[in-house]
Structure 1
Amino acid sequence: MRISPEQAVMIRQEVLNLAGNSARVWLFGSRVRDDARGGDVDLLVEMNEAVAEPALLSARLGARVSRNMHGRKVDVLIEAPNLLRLPIHAVAHAEGVRL
């Protein structure tokens, strides 16, 4: 995994702050592969409750994590009961690492 333990803690904390205590976060994409180089930070935030404004939550979380990672690009995917489940959600769960 190509994020530091401190970055993992920061990401978890930002998710808890914005999405609540029941939210779970997964790191997926190139950052879970030690042989890869560069790349953005891909996060899946899994929630048990419906999300009224998923785009806003995704944007806020991405901006906060990006700021804490010195401007690194961050993509945030939201998974909730009221949102369409896409194939990328399955990929994130299968290949990702829960933080």
Structure 2
Amino acid sequence: MRLTPEQVEIIKHSAAEVFGGGVSVRLFGSRLDDGARGGDIDLLVESPLEIEGKMDKMLTLTARLQLRLGDQPIDILVVDPTTPLNPVHRHARETAQTL
């Protein structure tokens, strides 16, 4: 995993601030490959409960992370029980590592 322990804590703390403590945050995509370079930070945020204002919260988290981690590409998928899963969601769930 190509995130520092400090970056992991910033991501987890920021997600809890925005979505509440009941969400899980997992990393998927190229940042899981220790041999790769660059790439965006792909995050899967999952909640067992329905999230009100899902899009607004996703945008808020993206902005906070860019301020706290530096201006770099961050992609966030948010999944709750009402989310219709598509292939990207399924791939993220299958390959992601919990932060």
TM range (shorter): over 0.9
User: Do residues 79 (structure 1) and 96 (structure 2) align?
Assistant: no
**Matched residue, 1:90:** 90
Identity %: 34
Q: For 2:87 and 2:54, how far apart are their aligned partners in 1?
A: 18
Structure 2 gaps of 5+ residues are none
Aligned-pair Cα RMSD in Å: 0.9
Q: For 2:69 and 2:15, how far apart are their aligned partners in 1?
A: 15
Paired positions, count: 99
Report if the CA contact (8 A) 1:28-1:43 is conserved: yes
The 5 Å alignment of 1:50-69 reads: 50-69=50-69
**Matched residue, 1:35:** 35
The amino acid across from 2:61 in the alignment is L
Structure 1 gaps of 5+ residues are none
Report if the CA contact (8 A) 1:25-1:98 is conserved: yes
Secondary structure class of the residue paired with 1:68: helix
Aligned-residue offset at 1:52: 2.1
Report if the CA contact (8 A) 1:47-1:79 is conserved: yes
The amino acid across from 2:27 in the alignment is L
User: What TM-score do the two structures reach when normalised by structure 2?
Assistant: 0.94
Secondary structure class of the residue paired with 1:10: helix
Report if the CA contact (8 A) 1:63-1:74 is conserved: no
Deviation >2 Å, runs of 4+: none
Q: For 1:16 and 1:69, how far apart are their aligned partners in 2?
A: 16
Aligned-residue offset at 1:88: 1.3
